[in-house]
A and B are shown apart, each in its own frame.
Chain A
Amino acid sequence: MTESSAPTTGLPPTAVDPEVAEQEDRKWTPGKIILWAVIALVGGIAWAILAISRGETINAIWFVFAAVCTYLIAYRFYSKFIERKITRPDDTRATPAEYNNNGRDFMPTDRRVLFGHHFAAIAGAGPLVGPVLAAQMGYLPGTVWIIIGVVLAGAVQDYLVMFFSMRRGGRSLGQMAREELGIIGGTAALLATLMIMIIIVAILALVVVNALGESAWGVYSVALTIPIALFMGVYLRFLRPGRVMEVSVIGFALLMFAIISGRWVAESAWGAELFHLDRTTIAWAIIIYGFVAAVLPVWLLLAPRDYLSTFMKIGVIGLLAIAIVVVRPEITVPAISEFAGREDGPVVPGSLFPFLFVTIACGALSGFHALISSGTTPKLVEKERQTRFLGYGGMLMESFVAIMALVAAISIDRGVYFAMNSSGAVTGGTVEGAVQFVNSLGLMGVNLAPETLTDLAANVGEESVVSRTGGAPTLAVGIATIMNQWFGGPAMMGFWYHFAIMFEALFILTAVDAGTRVARFMLQDTIGNFIPRFKDTSWRPGAWLCTAIMVAGWGYILILGVTDPLGGINTFFPLFGIANQLLAAIALAVVMAIVAKRGTFKYLWVVVLPLAFAAVVTITASLYKIFSPVPAVGYWAQHNAFRQALEDGQTSFGTARSVEAMEAVVRNTFVQGTLSVVFMVLTIIVITMAVVATVKSYRTRGVPENEDPRVESRIYAPSGLISTPAEKALEAQWKALPPERQPVRGRH
């Protein structure tokens, strides 16, 4: 009884004394000074080499140094500044994981495990695809945006959303938007989130379709992941429940077999016939798969696939980092390419501003993370101060993945890069067409020979590498190029290529069924406001109908993309970026309203800076897409040009060679243009509501906050990856308690 009435009697403190922590932070020992001076120096040198080098080649290791040193400095100084001035965490306060602990979604989780968990949830194919496409502009614009963007925008968003969601019992972004921005802002945010989920799933699926089209090896290996996952699911459900590690290792071995045996299958006559599919067929297969996977029980397909995907994610990213450091490829791509200042880049059209910033979304600033940083991770955080490591640190890690993807993409020959990433509409899909097109671009130092393309295709075990757009095949070639220098030589290139395709496809298919499922629940919840029956998520007809609606939404856009006479990914990808940055603007707008409500006006710029940038980028990009008179850039310009051509009775126009193709362009650009308008209107509504809320807070300082009431914490854990001496001392005090007085926590 005494225990419960006086919970903290006799227990050690639940937080390091703020004064001691402050002192530890501010005390500069000679060792510390030297360490940070070296980090700053190495980072500075690396940046100088990246920025100034106009020589023949540049070593990839400088990208790693520039990135890692900048991350370290930003984490140590800027995120600390945000912690001190804006979040002001209080470790004596219990987190929702502690006071709501239900042993399920609320559960104090070790910070290192949770970091891995959070990272696996936020990082997917996005940071692997965007940087590859942006490599068109040279390596420097992408590198600068990925590194500076994450420090000032992406990581700030993730950290602040996570912290404020944690203070609100782990509420979702949608719920916070309703609370902070009112009913109009909240509804606009909900609508935007739903549409963004549709767009993102559609574009990711398009990436997979492009990677697997006309590739028997790829289709076979990726298709085999479905029976592998089903087997794992049954194994875990009926044979040996709970043996997750065991089944993951078995699944991984089967996955490797799927990749290796893919070569034999693709080289056999029956295999080539069975698995050599055109892109439209694959698109339909993914649509059917998406529906089935989203209505099947989680244990059968989604959960085992998720285990595999997480396993691969951590393994491959670690492997790639080591390989880049070991191989240190020489980069011949110019810092700023010919296309940086032009609007007619063949990979993604549009000028550097704003299109670089929508092409690379994940890795620099990704609004989608706000959905994970609110709702999922905050319910598992053990101590308030850990959110800096989890939120800010987790996003830095994703940014590093984006940098590695960029390095992989620029380590391949530039001529090959453009041959792979220019749409079939301009290359004709043939080696000759691609060689002719790439050499006609007039790129400095590029003289593509047909043998280069045919040899590469043979090496990676593909029929052709021409116009394999979408980023995934290019990244796979880049990874194969780096990995085979480290391990296995050219004979292994085919394996590494398909290994890379496989792991991207795994991420994406997991995102497709998880995204469809989450979106279905959101839709059911929304419809449930009008027809209460829909709120019951176990009601089959409702679940099936809402799943079908969501799948129809992304499936429609996917089919449009696959059949697009203008190339598909290059016309649709900007929408993905715009949607993602729009969600970032919404998340930052919500955060701005919260920070203002807390009365922190002096440091509001920390939020306003990335918000203003995201808003300017999304709105400018949308304006270009709506109003640009250049057909390659403006959807409506393209739309009107093709409509006019049809009205004039022409039977072929531009890259569209038939009336049907021209009609397809007219329809696609209408959908794209309409989405651009909707996105822009939603952004403006949300930001306006956030500004109104902020001004209101300024006028009436001390508006009540929507935070959960304070509960006293009864557990202790250090905040960062490495414990400080004071943290270690406190940890030792807690460890010294007799077992019956130890607090019980999850995951220790």
Chain B
Amino acid sequence: MAAQALRTLAASLTTAWRSTVWFLRGVLGADAYQHYLAHQARVHPGVEPMSERAFWKDRMDWQDRNPQGRCC
């Protein structure tokens, strides 16, 4: 019984940790490359996607031209 309860607890802690990481990654935009890959696979299936390094370079350069406001 105790082992079972412990396992349930461990499982729910893992879920909580995973959700937190997922949330933070999303808010910070850390998951952008994964989305880009998914997007490319759907829209341009035959085209080789950018490498991770090239993608982030391109993304930052794009932000240079499209600044996002931050509020007070």
Which of A's residues lie within 8 Å of B, judged by CB? 101-105, 107, 109-110, 112-113, 116-117, 120-126, 200, 204, 236-237, 241-245, 248, 297-299, 302-303, 306-307, 309-311, 314, 362, 366, 368-369, 371-372, 375-376, 510-511, 514-515, 517-518, 521, 537-538, 580, 744, 746-747
Contacts and interface: CB of A to CB of B under 8 A. Distances in A.
Contact of B23 (A107, A116, A123, A366): A116
A511 B64 CA distance: 16
B52 A110 contact: no
Contacts of A307: 28
Interface string B54-72: 0111011111111111111
A311 B28 CA distance: 8
A310 B69 CA distance: 14
A245 B24 contact: yes
A510 B32 CA distance: 21
A178 B21 CA distance: 42
Enumerate the 9 nearest inter-chain pairs by beta-carbon distance, A residue then B residue, closest first: A113-B26, A103-B39, A244-B30, A126-B72, A299-B60, A116-B27, A514-B70, A517-B67, A744-B42
Contacts of A248: 28, 30
A434 B63 CA distance: 48
Interface in B1-50: 21-33, 35-36, 38-43
B40 A510 contact: no
Contact of B68 (A107, A116, A121, A243): A121
B33 A242 contact: yes
A514 B67 contact: yes
Given A241-B52, A518-B67, 8 more contacts: A101-B39, A113-B26, A237-B57, A242-B55, A248-B30, A299-B61, A303-B63, A537-B65
A22 B29 CA distance: 35
- Name which of B35, B55, B72 has the most chain A CB atoms within 10 A of its CB: B72
B57 A241 contact: yes
A107 B22 CA distance: 17
Nearest to A243: B30
Interface residues of B, number: 40
A242 B67 contact: no
Contacts of B66: 105
Q: From DSSP, what is the main secondary structure of chain B's interface residues? A: helix
A126 B71 CA distance: 8
A538 B72 contact: no
Nearest to B58: A104
Nearest to B60: A299
A242 B28 contact: no
A113 B38 contact: no
Contact of A747 (B21, B35, B57, B62): B35
25 contacts: A103-B43, A105-B66, A107-B35, A110-B26, A112-B26, A113-B22, A116-B23, A117-B29, A121-B68, A121-B69, A121-B70, A121-B71, A241-B52, A242-B33, A242-B56, A244-B25, A244-B28, A299-B60, A299-B61, A310-B28, A366-B71, A376-B68, A510-B70, A514-B70, A744-B42
Contacts of A116: 23, 26-27
Contacts of A518: 67-69
B72 to A, nearest CB: 4
Nearest to A125: B72
A39 to B, nearest CB: 26
Nearest to A203: B72
A289 to B, nearest CB: 16
Contacts of B24: 245, 311, 314
B56 to A, nearest CB: 4
A102 B36 CA distance: 9
Q: From DSSP, what is the main secondary structure of chain A's interface residues? A: helix
A103 B40 contact: yes
Contacts of A126: 71-72
A580 B71 CA distance: 11
A101 B71 CA distance: 25
B26 A521 contact: no
Contact of B27 (A123, A297, A314): A314
Nearest to B38: A744
A124 B26 contact: no
Contacts of B60: 237, 297-299, 303
A242 B34 CA distance: 10
B27 A538 contact: no
B26 A514 contact: no
Contacts of A366: 71-72
A120 B29 CA distance: 12
A245 to B, nearest CB: 5
Contact of A124 (B43, B57, B70): B70
Given A121-B70, A236-B56, A241-B56, A746 B28 contact: no
A113 B23 CA distance: 6
Given A121-B71, A306-B70, A372-B69, A298 B64 contact: yes
Given A105-B66, A244-B29, A744-B42, A200 B72 contact: yes
B50 to A, nearest CB: 11
A120 B51 CA distance: 29
A267 B48 CA distance: 57
A242 B30 contact: yes
Contacts of B59: 104
A114 B6 CA distance: 34
A376 B70 CA distance: 10
A311 B62 CA distance: 23
Contacts of A521: 67
Given A103-B35, A116-B26, A204 B21 contact: no
Contacts of A511: 70-72
Nearest to A306: B70
Contacts of A105: 66
Contacts of B21: 245
A161 to B, nearest CB: 13
B46 to A, nearest CB: 16
Contact of A120 (B27, B31, B32, B57): B27
Nearest to A115: B27
Given A241-B52, A303-B60, A744-B39, A109 B72 contact: no
A120 B66 CA distance: 18
- Name which of B42, B65, B67 has the most chain A CB atoms within 10 A of its CB: B67
Contacts of A125: 72
Nearest to A122: B71
Nearest to B35: A746
